[in-house]
Structures are given as C-alpha cells and as structure tokens.
Amino acid sequence: MGSRGTIGILTGGGDVPGLNPAIRAVTVRAREEGYRVIGIRRGWAGLVEMVPDPDADNREHFLELTEGTVRRVGRTGGTFLHTSRTRPSHLPRSAVPDHLADSYAEEVNDVTPEVLRNLEFLGIDVLVPIGGDDTLSYGGRLHEEGVPVVAIPKTMDNDVPGTEYCIGFSTCVTRTIELVNRLRTSAGSHERFLVVEVFGRYAGFTALVPAMAGAADRCVIPEHPFSLEHLAQLLSQDRRNNPSRYSVTLVSEGATIAGDEEMTFEEGEADQFGHRKLGGIGERVANGLKRISPRFVGGRSVNVVSQRLAYLVRSGDPDALDAIVPTAFGHLAVDLIRRGELGRMVAVQDGVYDSVRVDVVTGSPKVVDVKRHYDADELRPRYTGLMGEPLLISASRRG
C-alpha cells in the first residue's frame, strides 16, 4: 500500500475519447503523491463480480496501476479499463454472478453490500468513478454509505448537472462537424436534403453546438418538439438559396415530432438504468421530408441523404480539448483527495475549474435553455445576446 493510502478508479457507461487521459492523470499524480492506485475493470461490474478471497482469480476485475501501465494509454480513445452499464442497486437476477446467486434471487437486486465488501477487500480508501449521471449517481449512493468518493464527469451529450463541460463532448462536436462536411459532397452532388442523426437523449447540445459552428442549416433538439412541415419549409428555403442546391439538418436522437407521445426507440429492452436504446428519428425525418417536400419545391420530391453518426463520434483518439480537460480533471481529483474534500465532483463552473457536491448529479437536469440559446422559429442556434454567455452555451448563469 502507498504511504498515503489506496485510490480506486473506474469508468462506467458509454466509452468516450478522453477517459484514458483522465485515468493516466489520476494514476501518475497519485503515485507521485505516495498513493497506491487500483484500476477496477468494467465499471461497477468489476465490483459486483469480484470474489473477496485472496486465493480467487480476480484478474478480470481489477489491476494495480503504475506510471508504466498508463504511460501510453492517454494518447488513445476509449477506456483501457473497459466499461459497462451495470447498476449494482438494480441488478437483474440474470446478471447476478454465480457466487452470489443464493443470496440475491429476486428479479431485481440491490447488491450494494457486496460492492462495499469488495471495496474493503481491495483496501480502497477513496474511489474515483468517471462517468455520466447514471454512473455518478451510484457513486453518490456509495458516498452516502460511507465510501469517500471524488467523481469525474464524462458524457458525449455534455448533460451532467453541475458542470459546464464533460469529458467527450469536444471530440463529439469535432467529429460531427468533420463527418457532416464529408457528407456534403454526396448531398450537393445530387441536390438533396442531408439529415444527420446525432447523440442527445434529453439535451440537444450535440446538435446545437455543431450547428452553431456551421455544420448545419437547421437543428432539432429534444427540448423543443418540432413540426416536420416547418422543417421541410426551412430546408427547402435553404436549399433554394444554396448555389449547390442542398441543405443540412442535425437531428438529436431524443428529438420528437410535434404530436409524438415518446421518443423514437430501437427494438430491445431497457438497460439497468431504465434507458431504452434510441435510434430512428433521423430516418423518420428523412422519409417525412421526402414526402412533404413537393409542397415547397414546385411539386417535385427532394431525395434525402440520411446518416446516423452513432459510434463514429465516440470512437478514435481524443481531440485537443478532450486531452487537456481530462488531464486537468484527474489532477483536480487528486488535489481534492489530498485536501480531504470528499463527496465532490470536479467541474467547470463559470468557465473555470471548480468542484461541486457529487449529489448534484441527481438534481435538476442540464438541458438547452431554449429561450436563451435556441431559435424555435428558425430551428437553429440563437446568435444574438451572446455577450456574457458560456463558451459552449451549455450552462446557466449562477444566481
């Protein structure tokens, strides 16, 4: 054990570029400060499936991290510790490991006592979970149970409450702009509408910010149900005004057409956090635009290029911001641990690095402020009144 104690670190939920730089930063800094560092594999699953016995083979569940282990991983995307969507407080019977099957036989089980037992078995003094609000809400639960926690926020959607920035968001925006610009050649060559479906279950930042950067003429977001006819009219106008005779819209996966009772889902059951897999709204919009377009272009139907970006924007290496911010977050986490400021989440507030209580993630959702940042009539970002607004228009003013 390090002279200061042992820090455990894990990544949960979906992978994003920037996780490995955060793991590297925590490890290198913590080791320099005299801590031992344990990497827990596959998120909360590692702490559920581990067998708290010195003679058990737990190599699939944790490993000791050193400077040598993490030296090169910071240059790569994903998470070398791997991840899962396991929720220990709501574990279905089918996911209960064999050695716990006799003790947890309900359809849904809270195996938190086993997680606490395994943390004690590992000798972890402080836990650093990296994840979105689902992962971090369980981190908050563990803090309530007496486990010292310092959390790091990540998510492509940039929607973790309490912070203006989450690991993965910048790369998502960068990839979206890059991929949309590539798709323009096909849309322009055939004089079509281009419909691109992007991430964004409840918050539309991943559509709004790329659109603000010029990636699209229009964007539709979860916070504002939209009229398909109105979108068709606006895109037809944009296409008419474009010398190359095409136009582009970004569609958040959680966007809804006015009158819809729910979002558009793929087939399949919900995960352990109650989320069904989204997907298909982009195709619905594309089909609707083709059907409606004759009303606005002289009776002729406009064909549509429809593309769902999905994992293309969360794969590959991190961009510059998603190498810099995770590194800073990792060092901030160790600073908080050294000062004994536990039960915190590192954050960006008012444009500067800060920290907030970890339980903020279970508070009010972080979504686009439609009145301030979205022009609901024009279906695009609002470009007026930006003085004093956050850099990435993804936070609200304090007070």
Tokens linked to 398: 């304090």
Query: Rounded distance, CA 40 to CA 129, Å?
Result: 10
Tokens linked to 241: 């005004």
Q: Pick from 27, 11, 33, 31: which is nearest to 70 by CA? A: 27
Mean pLDDT for the chain overall: 93
**pLDDT tens digits, 118-171:** 999 999 999 999 999 999 999 999 999 999 999 999 999 999 999 999 999 999
What confidence category does residue 397 fall into, taking pLDDT thresholds of 50, 70 and 90? very low
What confidence category does residue 393 fall into, taking pLDDT thresholds of 50, 70 and 90? confident
Neighbouring CB atoms inside 10 A of 120's CB total 11
Question: Given 157, 159, 322, 359, which residue is catalytic?
Answer: 157
Active site residue 157: yes
What confidence category does residue 398 fall into, taking pLDDT thresholds of 50, 70 and 90? very low
**pLDDT tens digits, 226-250:** 999 999 999 999 999 999 999 999 9
Instruction: Count how many Cα atoms sit within 13 Å of the Cα of residue 84 in the half-sphere of its side chain.
Output: 17
Cβ-Cβ contacts under 8 Å for 185 (sequence gap 6 or more) = none
Where do the DSSP E strands lie in the chain? 5-11, 35-40, 62-65, 91-92, 108-109, 126-131, 150-153, 193-198, 218-220, 247-252, 304-308, 344-349, 352-357, 374-375, 380-381
Q: Pick from 30, 127, 16: which is nearest to 78 by CA? A: 16
Task: Tell me: pLDDT of 39 over 90.
Answer: yes
- For residue 127, the cross-strand partners are 8, 149
What confidence category does residue 320 fall into, taking pLDDT thresholds of 50, 70 and 90? very high
Average pLDDT over residues 280-284: 92
Share of the chain above pLDDT 90, in %: 86
- Burial class from Cβ neighbours inside 10 Å (0-12, 13-18, 19+) for residue 180 reads buried
